């Protein structure tokens, strides 16, 4: 498949000329005090074509019919060209087509231009708001320069420019965005996550907004909450703050009115006012405080509900005339952290110890943010049982935090590693020589921190901020960052970095470890916790980014972005460098370590289908063990206080580092992680051969029953027992040893653990979990560990499972309608599988498709990749999250012949 990628962008634009209709002055962008609106569309052109006279280009009357028109408020250069149809991501992501994009076209400045109408007049003031432009920009309005590239610098450099004297009825905004270098500019870099976009993310990636006010303008609203000792029964104080700027050369007395009201649930609104006198041309922090008698407390999803409040400040000048208003949504909750005796950080949410279990987020490669897609991604996070997303230098947009607030997902934000953001004299790990910060750099970073703190401050979903990632900021940057956060009334923990390499003395240790792995390790790796000093990423302390390097897409996804030759390479050339991995110079540009483990443990693949099935088994086993080990060791002598899996999803179709793939198809890594992250669960420790009872709730307690059964490959029962125990909220504990039951394994056995609540109706099953175990576990060479993996000197042998007798499994599927919590009509599909054989039916995957045979995505499965005992019957539900109509379920297992079953 070949693409016309050599087609010149500028020539392509001529083939798709936009209309050059004049701006209608009556159709003003904004018209009332306090109103704010983004510039909704852009015309783009390379400076090599448009020229360099920015004053002329930012005046009305320029013919932009030959420019590139995009009907979106924000896009990087590549994002804009995709939006305009010049490129197609379906084609770009196929095989190595990304290589063919001409990056030279982005080595010069590009222009973003748009015209819009305003209605200026006496008493009307206008402001231009930026939220970061990559890498730098000159900003012009109506032939006048508003800011140059020294001021408007950095992807997170947000600024407010007062432009009242420049506006007219018809206005032209021109932004010249400069080329980006990840090592010389404060940008959104990719390090080794994936191949880099040709434009390095250059452009207007966040909204540029215009705001109208009266003579007094308010800055973003900050909300400071102070909860009582007894959270829900004690009154809580709420303080609303904003910087009020008097734009006139005379003193003014203003009335400031604050409002606090619950959103989407009953409760009385609170409104109160006070007067303040502002000196001429001054900026004053206005502060209003009130008390909420019985606050509704915001909790992470697994622990409770997510009540939100609306807060607003309005400022009135003479004759009770509205001058400006600002608002925000907030929630009542507290977040703190502390170091334990091992120097590991534990977070506390609403005074409860909070074990962080989540993954690291990757945005779209071209920084195209879709609130709808992120909503689906957030639903996946909750379906998995995760409670946290880490953002490493990818702080995205306000809508991300709004979704997290509403759904109850914690966000651990922060700066990124390995480029300009960490260009310290003591950082010896940068891939290329990078100049250390100068005074201008400190100013850009300070403005970035101030802006991001203001954007995040009110959101209850924010768990904290990491002002460093792999390295800590130097002795000038660290207090600067902390000061900027404090000036925005930051109320959650601030940690110096995500690693143990060092820290500023005044901040203390961050209490997080970043010691790998990032590539494949066997499942027993996570349970070697005794000699913790040499056990790197094993389940103790707080792992800020770590994982077994898995996340292989299933076959239907692979065929969307790999050519036939690429697909052949997967299983016939296991050590070959692959484009859909990492950058060409990274340690992760091939699947050598991963494939060595697969070949040694499962035998050489006999076909593409066989290879992909073995990858799903490998991925499932890897993620389940990692999440189970951390959850199981929550209350160990050295507790596992938190873990961020590397990563949540990829920026483009990737072969690793994903819980689900780019197309949102959940596969082995997803369902292994889902089993390992269940709220109530029973897990097997590969090293001790013991069983752990896990309870991640705040309210579930009482008697529990665990049914334990071991069968061999022929279905013969080798062990059968039931353990009675008691569970307590937010705890994990070892409940029994299985060493004697598993001491005589000949080849491979299956272990099934079923946790149930005997006091519930029908003795409800809380967790069902099946392991495949060989007679020996993998032998790890800890002494020769590298930063990204620990070698294996002897592998477990699962080749006996390639010879399993065929199992006869009957499958039925039917649709059932129901009302969603919001009252919408939704449908789910129930799938019943029954193993009618005398042998186990191993690793049965289920895939929902439409009438054309295409995957129904996004979708949540109650369970998947199932292993059924002889004569066992299991029913699972699947819920489509989109509009696609499910028509059939595709079914296949290791020893179950593939079939497609119609949904009745």
Question: Judging by beta carbons within 10 Å of its beta carbon (0-12, 13-18, 19+), is residue 631 exposed, middle or buried?
Answer: buried
- The token duo for 555 is 């076959």
Tell me if residue 778 is catalytic: no
- Alpha carbon dihedral 249, 250, 253, 259, in 10-degree steps, equals -10
The CA distance from 424 to 444, in Å, is: 15
Residues 6+ apart with CB under 8 A from 440: 150, 153
Q: Which of 536, 739, 774, 540 is nearest to 640 (CA)?
A: 540
Q: Beta strand 859-861 with 896-902: parallel, antiparallel or unpaired? A: unpaired
Strand 352-354 and strand 345-349: pairing?
A: antiparallel
In whole angstroms, what is the distance from residue 95 CA to residue 34 CA? 49
Distance (Å, whole) CA 517 – CA 546:
5
8 Å CB contact between 317 and 246: no
660 beta partners:
666
Instruction: Quote the CA–CA distance of 735 and 206 in Å, as a whole number.
Output: 52
Q: Which of 89, 324, 470, 855 is catalytic?
A: 470
**φ and ψ at 394, to 5 degrees?**
-125, 65
Q: Using CB atoms within 10 Å of the CB of residue 71, give its burial: 0 to 12 exposed, 13 to 18 middle, 19+ buried.
A: exposed
Give CA separation, 706 vs 700, 723, 726, 865, in Å.
Answer: 16, 5, 11, 21
Neighbours of 596 (CB within 10 A): 16
- DSSP sequence for 760-827: STT--EEEEEEEEEESSPPEE-GGG--SS---EEE----GGGGGPPP--EEEEEEEEEEE-TTS-EEE
Q: What share of the chain is helix, strand, coil (3-state, %, to 5)?
A: 20, 35, 45
**3-class SS at 127?**
strand
Q: Please choose, from the candidates 605, 627, 727, 722, the residue with its C-alpha nearest in 3D space to the C-alpha of residue 676.
A: 627
- The DSSP call for residue 903 is B
**How many helices and strands (H and E) does the chain possess?**
14, 47
The gap between the terminal CA atoms of the chain, to the nearest Å, is 38
Nearby residues of 687 by Cβ (< 8 Å), 6 or more positions away: 524, 527, 528, 777
**Contacts by 584-591, CB closer than 8 A, 24 or more apart:** 584/195, 585/431, 586/192, 587/192, 587/518, 587/519, 587/788, 588/192, 588/518, 588/519, 588/549, 588/656, 588/657, 588/788, 591/655, 591/656
CB 198 within 8 A of CB 106: yes
How many residues does the structure list for the chain?
904
Query: Does 545 participate in catalysis according to the annotation?
Result: yes
Cβ atoms of 221 and 241 closer than 8 Å? yes
What is the longest distance spanned by two Cα atoms in the chain? 91
How many Å apart are CA 282 and CA 855, to the nearest integer? 59
Task: Tell me: cis bond preceding 635? Omega within 30 of 0 counts.
Answer: no
> Are the C-beta atoms of 389 and 420 separated by less than 8 Å?
no
Q: Which of 441, 545, 569, 778 is catalytic?
A: 545
Backbone dihedral angles phi then psi of residue 622, each to the nearest 5 degrees: -70, -50
Tokens of 547: 């994982």
Residues annotated as catalytic are: 470, 545
């Amino acid at each position: 498949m070949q693409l016309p990628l050599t087609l010149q962008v500028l020539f392509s634009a001529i083939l798709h000329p936009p209309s050059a209709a004049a701006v209608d002055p009556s159709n003003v962008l904004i018209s009332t005090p306090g109103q704010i609106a983004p510039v909704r569309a852009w015309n783009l052109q390379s400076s090599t074509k448009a020229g360099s006279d920015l004053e002329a280009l930012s005046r009305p009357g320029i013919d932009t019919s030959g420019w590139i028109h995009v009907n979106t408020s924000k896009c990087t250069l590549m994002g804009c060209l995709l939006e305009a149809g010049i490129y197609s991501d379906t084609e770009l992501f196929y095989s190595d087509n990304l290589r063919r994009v001409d990056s030279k076209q982005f080595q010069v400045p590009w222009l973003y231009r748009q015209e819009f109408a305003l209605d200026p007049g006496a008493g009307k003031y206008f402001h231009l708001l930026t939220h970061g432009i990559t890498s730098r920009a000159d900003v012009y309005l109506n032939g006048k320069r508003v800011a140059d590239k020294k001021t408007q610098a950095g992807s997170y450099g947000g600024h407010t420019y007062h432009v009242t004297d420049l506006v007219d009825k018809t206005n032209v905004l021109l932004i010249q965005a400069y080329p980006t270098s990840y090592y010389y500019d404060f940008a959104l870099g990719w390090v080794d996550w994936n191949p880099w976009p040709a434009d390095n993310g250059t452009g207007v990636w966040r909204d540029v907004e215009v705001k109208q006010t009266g003579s007094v303008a308010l800055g973003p609203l900050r909300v400071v909450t102070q909860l009582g000792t007894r959270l829900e029964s004690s009154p809580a104080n709420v303080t609303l703050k904003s910087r009020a700027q008097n734009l006139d050369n005379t003193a003014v007395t203003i009335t400031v009115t604050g409002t606090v009201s619950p959103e989407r649930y009953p409760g009385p609104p609170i409104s109160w006012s006070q007067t303040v006198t502002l000196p001429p041309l001054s900026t004053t922090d206005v502060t209003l405080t009130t008390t909420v008698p019985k606050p509704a407390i915001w909790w992470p999803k697994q622990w409770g509900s997510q009540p939100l409040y609306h807060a607003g400040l309005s400022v009135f000048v003479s004759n009770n005339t509205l001058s400006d208003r600002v608002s925000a949504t907030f929630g009542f909750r507290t977040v703190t952290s502390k170091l334990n005796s091992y120097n590991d950080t534990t977070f506390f949410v609403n005074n409860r110890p909070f074990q962080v279990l989540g993954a690291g987020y990757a945005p779209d490669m071209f920084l195209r943010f879709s609130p709808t897609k992120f909503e689906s991604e957030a639903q996946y996070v909750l379906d998995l049982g995760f409670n946290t997303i880490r953002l490493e230098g990818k702080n995205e947009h306000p809508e991300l935090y709004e979704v997290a607030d509403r759904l109850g997902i914690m966000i651990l934000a922060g700066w990124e590693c390995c480029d300009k953001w960490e260009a310290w004299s003591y950082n010896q790990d940068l891939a290329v020589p990078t100049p250390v910060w100068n005074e201008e750099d400190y100013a850009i970073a300070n403005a970035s921190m101030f802006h991001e703190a203001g954007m995040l401050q009110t959101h209850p979903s924010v768990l904290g901020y990491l002002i460093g990632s792999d390295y800590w900021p130097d002795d000038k940057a660290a207090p600067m960052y902390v000061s900027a956060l404090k000036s925005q009334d930051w109320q959650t923990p601030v940690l110096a970095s995500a690693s143990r390499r060092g820290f500023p003395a005044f901040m203390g240790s961050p209490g997080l470890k970043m010691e790998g792995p990032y590539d494949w390790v066997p499942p027993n790796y996570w349970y070697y916790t005794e000699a913790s000093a040499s056990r790197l990423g094993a389940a103790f302390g707080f792992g800020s980014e770590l994982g077994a390097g898995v996340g292989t897409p299933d076959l239907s996804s692979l065929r969307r972005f790999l050519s036939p030759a690429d697909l052949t390479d997967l299983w016939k050339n296991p050590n070959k460098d692959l484009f859909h991995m990492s950058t060409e110079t990274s340690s992760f540009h091939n699947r050598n370590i991963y494939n060595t483990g697969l070949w040694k443990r499962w035998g050489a693949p006999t076909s593409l289908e066989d290879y992909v099935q073995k990858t799903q088994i490998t991925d499932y086993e890897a993620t389940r063990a990692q999440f189970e080990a951390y959850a199981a060791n929550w209350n160990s002598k050295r507790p596992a206080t938190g873990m961020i899996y590397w990563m949540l999803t990829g920026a483009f179709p990737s072969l690793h580092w994903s819980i689900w793939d780019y197309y949102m198809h959940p596969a082995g890594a997803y369902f292994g992680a889902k089993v390992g992250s269940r709220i109530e669960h029973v897990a097997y420790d590969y090293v001790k051969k013991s069983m752990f009872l896990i309870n991640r709730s705040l309210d579930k307690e009482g008697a529990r029953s665990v049914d334990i059964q071991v069968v061999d490959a022929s279905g013969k029962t080798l062990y059968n027992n039931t353990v009675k125990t008691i569970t307590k909220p937010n705890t994990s504990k070892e409940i029994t040893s299985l060493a004697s039951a598993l001491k005589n394994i000949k080849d491979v056995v299956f272990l099934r653990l079923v946790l149930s609540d005997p006091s519930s109706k029908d003795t409800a099953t809380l967790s069902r979990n099946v392991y495949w175990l060989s007679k020996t576990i993998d032998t790890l060479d800890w002494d020769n560990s590298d930063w990204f993996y620990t070698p294996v000197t002897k592998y477990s042998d699962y080749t006996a499972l390639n010879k399993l007798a065929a199992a006869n499994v009957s499958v039925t599927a039917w649709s059932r309608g129901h009302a969603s919590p919001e009252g919408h009509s939704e449908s789910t599909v129930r799938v019943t599988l029954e193993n009618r054989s005398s042998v186990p039916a191993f690793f049965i995957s289920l895939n929902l498709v439409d009438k054309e045979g295409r995957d129904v995505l996004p979708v949540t499965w109650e369970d998947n990749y199932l292993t059924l005992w002889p004569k066992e019957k299991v029913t699972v539900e699947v819920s489509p999250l989109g509009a696609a109509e499910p028509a059939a379920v595709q079914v296949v297992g290791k020893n179950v012949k593939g079939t497609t079953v119609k949904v009745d």
